[in-house]
């Protein structure tokens, strides 16, 4: 059996190439929009990709199934409940896909979405039972999927409960390979480990240890991560007409009419000088595409600013979350606006005298573990809405997080909306904790 896992570190998404060396055929499961690495691996293993299997209609990233279909005539399979309008072969519970000695068995596991399926993989040269299972967005390592993206959360959670119990009936030694690892918004408590086993998860995963349906539903439906604003767009792209390969991002000598400039350089470079009104989401930081998806306006042309390498990397990330039409990029342009970072000593001094509005831009669970008295809470992902609605008080705003990365994003968004905002770039709440007893824990 040929088996290869691919992990997108930025989005936390996992996809797979499964095949049979003797038969010379393989399938790709849950392909990313960037398909070149699957083709390179198939060529390296001397197998031909003969099908794409989708566990479900993805809501967090654009699938590469359209490119594989258009560019390489690869057929697509997804469960009939997906409502897909592209040409496809519908999957049903119990279906089996044969690849030489390898058999992939379809397990319908609704919950995350009604069409969701897991794929149990059997290597006939080894044993007649499943060796591993691709759980998609149902069972993760250390967590379970969110149930609220396609149906009401409690209804999805009820289906998910039964689907997880079905997966839990597999043998202890069956290996689990999920559709996401830590860093994804599809589950808050998942591990950074890329795989596990049914036996380990049955013992230690909270989603499999709940004693009954009601306790599971209450837990899973009651604490959900933020819902990215790009979800509806991505779902429609993934179940609609095939999405073709992207056009190259062209160089611009001026900003496109109505365009928003996304500066993908480092926060320090942005602070030293940037295009007026630009937003800053560094492509070199973690979760670039997720952060950009939260702060970019959905309907305005996007103009990128950065080096050629930075722009290329940013284009890949943005297209992965549904920003397919990029207006172009700027390199040598007047960067006449500056944003002076704030040091922690200045923050402490000016907060004590009431001169600034200190805004904690971390997520709620981080703030619940401790915060700076006198600060208020606006997660970075809500910075645009907060700025558009107006920040009461009229004081200069200072944004702070754990390391400076999200503070930089939030400050740029607020400044672009006309707010006098500056970030703490070097250090954050955890450093404040060591400098002053003013830091306290909640509850």
CATH number assigned to the domain comprising residue 382? 3.40.250.10
Say what the pLDDT of residue 142 is: 92
Check whether residue 315 and residue 202 sit in a common domain. Answer: no
pLDDT, tens only, 56-83: 999 999 999 999 999 999 999 999 999 9
CA-wise closest residue to 31 among 59, 4, 6: 6
Say what the pLDDT of residue 286 is: 87
Sheet holding 2-8, edge to edge: 2-8, 13-20, 25-29, 48-53, 76-79, 89-91
- Domain assignment of residue 101, given as a range: 2-232
Q: Does the pLDDT value for residue 207 go beyond 50? A: yes
> Is the Cβ–Cβ distance between 135 and 174 less than 8 Å?
no
In a domain, 240, yes or no: no
Last residue of a domain, one of 181, 197, 232: 232
Check whether residue 191 and residue 301 sit in a common domain. Answer: no
In a domain, 241, yes or no: no
Domains contained in the chain, number: 3
> Is the Cβ–Cβ distance between 188 and 227 less than 8 Å?
no
| CATH assignment of the domain containing 73 | 3.60.15.10
Check whether residue 309 and residue 226 sit in a common domain. Answer: no
The mean predicted confidence, pLDDT, of the chain is: 91
Check whether residue 19 and residue 83 sit in a common domain. Answer: yes
In a domain, 237, yes or no: no
In a domain, 337, yes or no: no
Check whether residue 407 and residue 323 sit in a common domain. Answer: no
Say what the pLDDT of residue 22 is: 92
pLDDT over 90 percentage in the chain: 76
Check whether residue 86 and residue 216 sit in a common domain. Answer: yes
Instruction: Compute the residue count for the chain.
Output: 443
Mean pLDDT of 80-109: 97
In a domain, 443, yes or no: no
Check whether residue 57 and residue 89 sit in a common domain. Answer: yes
Check whether residue 28 and residue 128 sit in a common domain. Answer: yes
Confidence of residue 121 (pLDDT cuts 50, 70, 90): very high
CA-wise closest residue to 337 among 411, 271, 397: 271
Which range is least confidently modeled, 61-65, 93-97, 144-148?
Answer: 144-148
> Residue 300's CB: how many other CB atoms inside 10 A?
12
In a domain, 401, yes or no: yes
Confidence of residue 441 (pLDDT cuts 50, 70, 90): very low
Which residue did the predictor score with more confidence, 181 or 133?
A: 133
- What is the β-pairing status of strands 175-178 and 196-197? antiparallel
Sheet holding 326-330, edge to edge: 279-280, 260-263, 302-305, 326-330
Confidence of residue 189 (pLDDT cuts 50, 70, 90): low
Say what the pLDDT of residue 99 is: 96
Say what the pLDDT of residue 330 is: 86
Query: How far apart are the C-alpha atoms of 293 and 119, rounded to whole Å?
Result: 30
Which range is least confidently modeled, 178-187, 216-225, 242-251?
Answer: 178-187
In a domain, 239, yes or no: no
Per-residue DSSP letters for 325-382?
A: -EEEEESS----B------HHHHHHHHHTT-SEEEE-S-HHHHHT-B-TT-EE--GGG
pLDDT, tens only, 274-302: 999 999 999 998 899 999 999 998 889 99
Query: How far apart are the C-alpha atoms of 430 and 401, rounded to whole Å?
Result: 9
Say what the pLDDT of residue 439 is: 44
Structure letter (DSSP) for residue 187: -
**Integer angstrom CA distances of residue 348 from 195, 246, 398, 431:** 44, 48, 11, 12
Check whether residue 108 and residue 184 sit in a common domain. Answer: yes
Query: How far apart are the C-alpha atoms of 80 and 399, rounded to whole Å?
Result: 47
pLDDT, tens only, 337-386: 999 999 999 999 999 999 999 999 999 888 988 899 999 999 999 998 88
Check whether residue 163 and residue 50 sit in a common domain. Answer: yes
Say what the pLDDT of residue 438 is: 45
Which residue did the predictor score with more confidence, 434 or 114?
A: 114
Last residue of a domain, one of 210, 232, 254: 232
Check whether residue 224 and residue 261 sit in a common domain. Answer: no
Check whether residue 297 and residue 361 sit in a common domain. Answer: no
Sheet holding 96-99, edge to edge: 96-99, 102-108, 117-123, 132-136, 175-178, 196-197
Last residue of a domain, one of 205, 232, 259: 232
In a domain, 188, yes or no: yes
Confidence of residue 433 (pLDDT cuts 50, 70, 90): low
pLDDT, tens only, 297-337: 888 999 999 999 999 999 999 999 999 989 999 877 777 89
Mean pLDDT of 426-439: 67
């Amino acid at each position: 059996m040929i088996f290869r896992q691919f992990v997108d570190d930025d989005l936390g998404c996992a996809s797979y190439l499964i095949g049979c060396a003797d038969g010379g055929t393989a399938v790709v499961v849950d392909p990313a929009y960037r398909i070149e690495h699957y083709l390179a691996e198939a060529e390296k293993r001397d197998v031909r990709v003969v099908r794409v299997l989708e566990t479900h209609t993805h809501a967090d990233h654009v699938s590469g199934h359209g490119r594989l279909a258009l560019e390489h005539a690869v057929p697509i399979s997804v469960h009939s409940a997906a409502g897909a309008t592209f040409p496809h072969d519908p999957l049903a519970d119990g279906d089996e896909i044969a690849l030489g000695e390898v058999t992939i068995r379809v397990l319908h596991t609704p919950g995350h979405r009604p069409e969701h399926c897991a794929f149990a993989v059997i290597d006939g040269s080894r044993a007649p039972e499943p060796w591993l299972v691709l759980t998609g967005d149902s069972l993760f390592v250390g967590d379970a999927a969110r149930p609220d993206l396609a149906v009401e959360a409690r209804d999805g959670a009820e289906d998910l409960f039964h689907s997880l119990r079905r997966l839990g009936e597999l043998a202890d030694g069956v290996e689990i390979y999920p559709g996401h690892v830590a860093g994804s918004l599809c589950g808050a408590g998942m591990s950074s480990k890329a795989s596990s086993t049914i036996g380990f998860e049955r013992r230690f995963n909270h989603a499999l240890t709940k004693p009954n349906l009601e306790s599971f539903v209450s837990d899973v439906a009651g604490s959900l991560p933020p819902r990215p604003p790009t979800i509806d767009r991505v779902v429609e792209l993934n179940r609609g007409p095939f999405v073709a390969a992207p056009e190259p991002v062209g160089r611009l000598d001026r900003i496109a009419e109505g365009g928003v400039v996304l500066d993908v350089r480092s926060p320090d470079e942005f602070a030293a000088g940037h295009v007026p009104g630009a937003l800053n989401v560094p492509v070199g930081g973690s979760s670039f595409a997720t952060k950009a998806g939260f702060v970019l306006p959905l309907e305005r042309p996007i103009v990128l600013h950065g080096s050629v390498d930075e722009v290329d990397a940013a284009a890949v990330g943005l297209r992965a979350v549904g920003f397919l039409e990029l207006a172009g990029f700027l390199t040598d342009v007047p960067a006449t606006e500056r944003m002076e970072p704030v040091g922690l000593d200045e923050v402490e001094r000016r907060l004590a005298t009431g001169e600034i509005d200190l805004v904690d831009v971390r997520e709620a669970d981080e703030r619940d573990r401790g915060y700076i008295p006198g600060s208020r809470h606006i997660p970075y992902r809500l910075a645009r809405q907060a700025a558009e609605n107006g920040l009461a008080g009229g004081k200069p705003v200072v944004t702070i997080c754990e390391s400076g990365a999200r503070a930089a994003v939030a400050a740029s968004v607020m400044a672009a909306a006309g707010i006098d905002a500056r970030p703490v770039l070097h250090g954050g709440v955890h450093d404040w904790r060591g400098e002053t007893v003013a830091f306290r824990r909640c509850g």
